[in-house]
Structure 1
Amino acid sequence: MARRLNVLVTDDELPALEGLVRMLRQDSRIAKIYTASSGIEAIHALEQHEVDAVFLDIHMPSLSGIDIARMINRFANPPAVVFVTADETKALEAFDLKASDYLLKPVDDARLLESVRRLSHAREDILNTEPMVTVEHLGTSRLIKREDILYAEARGDYIRLHTEDASYLLRVAMAELERQWADGDFIRIHRSYLVSARHIQHMKLSAAKGSVWVDGAELPVSRRSLPIVRDLLNRTRVRSHR
Structure 2
Amino acid sequence: MLRVLAVDDEKPLLEELLYLLRSDDRVLSAEGACDATGALRRITRALESGPDGADAIDVVFLDIHMAGLTGLDVARLLAGFAHPPLVVFVTAHEGFAVQAFDLKAVDYVLKPVRPERLAEAVRRASDHLGRSAAQRPPGAAGPPGPPAVPLAGPARHRPAPDTGAAPAAGSAAAAAADRAQDLIAVELGGVTRFVAIADIAYVEAQGDYARLHTDAASHLVRIPLSTLEERWAPRGFVRIHRRHLVALRRIDELRIDAGTTSVRIGAAELQVSRRHARQLRDLLMRQATG
TM-score normalised to structure 1 length = 0.56
For 2:287, the equivalent position in structure 1 comes to 239
Q: Identity, % of aligned pairs?
A: 42
User: What's the CA shift for 1:78?
Assistant: 1.4
Confirm or deny: 8 A CA contact 1:34 1:45 kept in the other structure.
no
Distance 2:23 2:286 in 1: 33
For 1:125, the equivalent position in structure 2 comes to 131
> Which structure 1 segments of 5+ residues have no match?
133-144, 148-184, 186-195, 206-236
User: What's the CA shift for 1:43?
Assistant: 0.3
Corresponding residue to 2:7 among 5, 10, 14: 10
User: What's the CA shift for 1:240?
Assistant: 5.5
Distance 1:88 1:35 in 2: 23
Confirm or deny: 8 A CA contact 2:89 2:107 kept in the other structure.
yes
For 1:110, the equivalent position in structure 2 comes to 116
User: What's the CA shift for 1:62?
Assistant: 1.2
User: What's the CA shift for 1:35?
Assistant: 1.1
The root-mean-square deviation of aligned C-alpha atoms, in Å, is 2.6
Aligned ranges for residues 72-221 of structure 1 at < 5 Å?
A: 72-132=78-138, 145-147=139-141, 196-198=143-145
* Residues 1:25 and 2:22 aligned together: yes
Change (3 A) 1:129 1:11: same
> Which structure 2 segments of 5+ residues have no match?
47-55, 150-157, 159-284
* Residues 1:58 and 2:64 aligned together: yes
Distance 1:35 1:28 in 2: 18
How many equivalent residue pairs? 147
Corresponding residue to 2:35 among 21, 33, 38: 38
Confirm or deny: 8 A CA contact 2:81 2:146 kept in the other structure.
no
Change (3 A) 1:197 1:95: closer
User: What's the CA shift for 1:104?
Assistant: 0.5
TM-score normalised to structure 2 length = 0.47
Distance 1:36 1:238 in 2: 22
Distance 2:88 2:95 in 1: 15
Describe the superposition over 1:212-234 as per-residue Cα deviations: whole angstroms up to 9, x where unpaired: xxxxxxxxxxxxxxxxxxxxxxx
Change (3 A) 1:146 1:35: same
